[in-house]
Amino acid sequence: MSSHTASTPPARITLSMCEAAEITAIATGEQYRWAHTALAAAGWERTANGVHTRLFGDRAAAERAVSTLVHFARRHRTAVVTSTRPHLGDIAGAIAHQLPGPWTPTIEVYSNPVWQQDLVPWLWDSGELTRAVQAGQVTHAAKLTNQAAGIDLLLIERPGHSSGYVIGAFAPDGFDDNYEGPYSPAGAVLPQDPYRAAAEIADRYLPGYQQALHARRTAAVAYALSRIRDERTELQHLTATGPDPAHTERFADVAWYEVLDIVKHAPPLIERCRRSPLPLENSTAITRLEVALGTGTTIVNGWHSLLTGTPDAPRAYRAEHFPEAKATRNRAIHPVIDTWLAHGDTLLRHAAPAAPGRAPVLAPAAVPALPPAASTPARPR
């Protein structure tokens, strides 16, 4: 179904001023290639992120550049509009510079109106950002990435308003949650001034994001332990009359995948618990969990290395000895599972209060995997 209406030209060029002596142009619309053709004919340079730019020495030069662009745009049935906002890349750069920690801003352009829908399954946001991407027109956005902290944020111009921005997050590494998940944080509406916007992100949005992430990690570990307990109970029931290798292997397979979640998500919970004094008994229990976690991490890393291959262990060799290697892995991981079943609830009791406003959830429902992205026209390279 076409999204083109009488008020939406099939091709459009939006001009914005940069802080430097530069004008940026963003080509959008179902026939955005017409806009690209006009920009190229007028001598505008296309950057790697899809934004076209043109340097100018003075106001007269800028007016000539825009006038020439308008001439070619008419020939290629493209509308030219001037934004009242500064270039989003400048705003994102100023915000990134003010935020604590290393943040890298990058601009993305969604020239075809359907491209923005690719963002929806990956958004971890229960606020205005998701609504804007789903129902509004988002022609471009800025990603703010803190690789060290594993955080990816998305910044857009607030739709339907002449000023202001909206920011939200992508799902953290290790989770396939999206905007429908119960733990997704609400995005924030930001003021036009980038310094005030950065303060809003640092003082309000990021603490809320960290709180939501802590709650999600706690739920992930709780769910993993609950699954292992349920499978162990089922195994004991099935093998009450005698051991059955098939049932034992099923338990080992289920427990292994839950251990992967524990290894990934438990370390920040332990680190957070260690920031506050603990009773001796609980401190001892968490120390045992730390030791078991270290052992589990070594086993997991070794298994992944075996699967990805090394010069000394080609794939054919691994395939031939896979059952034996898997049995060795399962034997090695059993003590780790036993320790976490014995002491894991101690960690959860101390971790849950660290996320104020969230009730402890020790056995949450499984979160469905992300739906596949909608089929969309391929972006030109």
Residue range 156-190, pLDDT digits in tens: 999 989 899 999 999 988 887 777 788 999 999 99
State the DSSP string of 121-189: GGB--SSHHHHHHHHS---EEEEEEETTTTEEEEEEEPTTSSS-EEEEEBPPTT----TTSTTPPPPEE
Residue range 256-312, pLDDT digits in tens: 999 999 999 999 999 998 888 889 999 999 999 999 999 999 999 988 888 776 555
Q: Of how many residues is the chain composed?
A: 381
> The pTM is what?
0.83
Residue range 30-63, pLDDT digits in tens: 999 999 999 999 999 999 999 999 998 888 999 9
CB distance 119 to 376 below 8 Å: no
Task: Please state which CATH class domain 1-86 belongs to.
Answer: alpha beta
Residue range 316-326, pLDDT digits in tens: 456 667 888 88
**Helices and strands counted in the chain (H then E):** 10, 10
For the chain, give every domain's residue range.
1-86, 214-354
Q: How far apart are the first and last CA of the chain?
A: 25
